[in-house]
Chains A and B, each alone.
Chain A
Amino acid sequence: DAKTTQPTSMDCAEGRAANLPCNHSTISGNEYVYWYRQIHSQGPQYIIHGLKNNETNEMASLIITEDRKSSTLILPHATLRDTAVYYCIVSPSYNQGGKLIFGQGTELSVKP
C-alpha cells in the first residue's frame, strides 16, 4: 500500500479554514484517498474520499492535485469541535483488496 506523509500537528483559529496537507507520491492508479478523523476518546470518523476529482460534502472539501501525488483536506470554517487527529489514507477500494491502514495523522488544534 502507498504510504502517506502528514505534518505531525497544526493549529487553526476558530472560524478560519483549516487546510490539512497530505503527500502520497507513490499512489497507484487504483488507489483512493480517504480522510478520517479521531476526536479524543472516540472512534475514527469518516470524512471524505476521492480518486481524481475534487470532492465536497457537508463536512469538508478534498482537493487532489492533478498528478495525484498530494491532497489537501479543507475544513471551511473550523470550530473547537474539529480539534482531532486527522488521518490521510490511500488504498484500493475494498473489492480490490483495499483496507484502511492508519498512519500517524495530523493533530489539529482549533483555538478560540
Chain B
Amino acid sequence: DTAVSQTPKYLVTQMGNDKSIKCEQNLGHDTMYWYKQDSKKFLKIMFSYNNKELIINETVPNRFSPKSPDKAHLNLHINSLELGDSAVYFCASSQTGWEAFFGQGTRLTVV
C-alpha cells in the first residue's frame, strides 16, 4: 500500500482554469504538507496542516487553497491557473515532524 498517494500524477491545463490535486495518507499521521518544486528544483513548503488545522501558510497566492476534509486527506485547489504555477507539487505527512513521508508528486503544466 502506498503511504502517501497523490492524484493525478500529471496534470496539463490551460491558463485561467481551476484545478485540484488530491492527497491521501494511510499512515495515521497528524500532520500533512504541500511543497512546490519549481523548474530550478528548489523545494518550497506551501502549507502545513495538523489535525485538520492550518499551521503553516507560507507566502502563497490566495489562488491556492488547501482543504483538509479529515486527518488523512489534504487537497490543494488552485484557481485561475497561471503559467508560473507550472511545477511539481508534493504532498507529505509526518507524525513527529522528523520523518516526513512524501508522495510521488504531481507534475502540473499550465499552457
CB proximity to A under 8 Å, residues B62-111: 90, 92, 94, 96-105
* Nearest CB in chain B: distance from A1 CB, A: 11
**CB atoms of A99 and B94 under 8 A apart:** no
**CB atoms of B41 and A85 under 8 A apart:** yes
Q: CB-nearest residue of chain B relative to A43?
A: B102
28 A–B contacts, CB within 8 A, in A order: A32-B98, A34-B98, A42-B104, A43-B90, A43-B92, A43-B102, A43-B103, A43-B105, A44-B90, A44-B92, A46-B100, A46-B101, A49-B98, A49-B99, A85-B41, A87-B43, A93-B98, A94-B31, A94-B94, A98-B97, A99-B45, A99-B48, A100-B100, A101-B45, A102-B35, A102-B43, A102-B44, A104-B42
Residue B56 lies at the interface, judged by CB distance under 8 Å to chain A: yes
Main secondary structure of the interface of B (DSSP, over half): strand
* Nearest CB in chain B: distance from A49 CB, A: 5
Number of residues in B with C-beta < 8 Å to the partner?
24
- Chain B interfacial positions (CB closer than 8 Å to A): 4, 31, 33, 35, 41-45, 48, 56, 90, 92, 94, 96-105
Contacts of B4 in A (CB 8 A): 43
